[in-house]
Amino acid sequence: MDVIAKIVSQAQANIQRIVLPEGGDNRTLIAADKLVADKVADIILMGNESEIAAKAAELGLKNISGATIIDPVTNPKKEEYATYLYELRKSKGMTMEQAMKLAEDPLYLAPLMIKKGDADGEIAGACNATSSVLRPAFQIVKTAPGVSVVSGLFIMVLKDNQLGEDGVMTFADCAVCPDPTAEELAQIAISTAETTKALAGFEPRVAMLSFSTKGSAKHERIDKVIEATRIAKERCPEIMLD
């Protein structure tokens, strides 16, 4: 079984409620249609219901009716979510008026639903910048205990199965944190190892990369990678890491 089929199988065995905030995006709708058809997740689409239905018909999609559609503007729970957001952020200067406005923003409503326990996860970024997706998630859901930095991970499925683990490799952080500190880099390495194991199902071997082989050159960026390696090994000695 390839890694994508394995992830799909895991999802089908443990159905989660996944919010797709970009309900007006064609790729999002096509993906949602397939996810509903394949019973991979309980899909929550955000947007105007009639507009989503019209676009689904235009795209020839047959399964969108199996998704839950929430219009953030007319959402009957809007005030409840806005009040919750206000309580979370009032110490940072947020007003109730601002919270009411943000509760109509799908990128804020999705993490609010997760934080309140009304959804389990969110997928976005088809038509929004990574920073726009992550900012509300960081403010509302926040990071896991012991993790202070948000990071991104790519799963690469290679044609040559002699590389990586049967052709599967993961790379991080290639999307979010451009210049992590040694502490942040160590956290990213540990988080990446844990995510790889959870998603791909194998024990990862982690390589800490720099432009020097095993620290043969001298440079502050190399020193940072050496220090990050030390921190990560000390914190999680069970991870195969070098």
DSSP string, 25-88: -HHHHHHHHHHHHTT--EEEEES-HHHHHHHHHHHT-S-GGGSEEE-TTT-TTHHHHHHHHHHH
Single residue among 91, 112, 140 that ends a domain in this structure: 140
Structural domain containing residue 164:
153-241
Kindly state whether residue 196 falls inside one of the protein's structural domains.
yes
Same domain? 95 vs 119 = yes
The pLDDT-based confidence of 175 (bands split at 50, 70, 90) is confident
Whether 42 shows a pLDDT value over 70: the answer reads yes
For the chain, how many structural domains are there in total?
2
Instruction: Report the predicted TM-score, pTM, of the whole model to 2 decimal places.
Output: 0.88
pLDDT tens digits for 149-168?
Answer: 999 999 999 999 999 999 99
Instruction: Mark whether 132 and 159 lie in a shared domain.
Output: no
Based on the fold, state whether residues 19 and 136 are members of the same structural domain: yes
106 and 15, same structural domain? yes
The answer to the question of residue 145 being in a domain is: no
Assigned domain for 199 exists: yes
Q: What radius of gyration do the chain's Cα atoms show?
A: 21
- Express each pLDDT in 119-140 by its tens digit: 999 999 999 999 999 999 999 9
Q: Are residues 88 and 63 in the same domain?
A: yes
Which element (helix H / strand E) includes 172? strand 168-172
- Are 108 and 199 in a shared domain? no
**Which of the listed residues 112, 140, 168 is the one where a domain comes to its end?**
140
Same domain as 166, residue 96: no
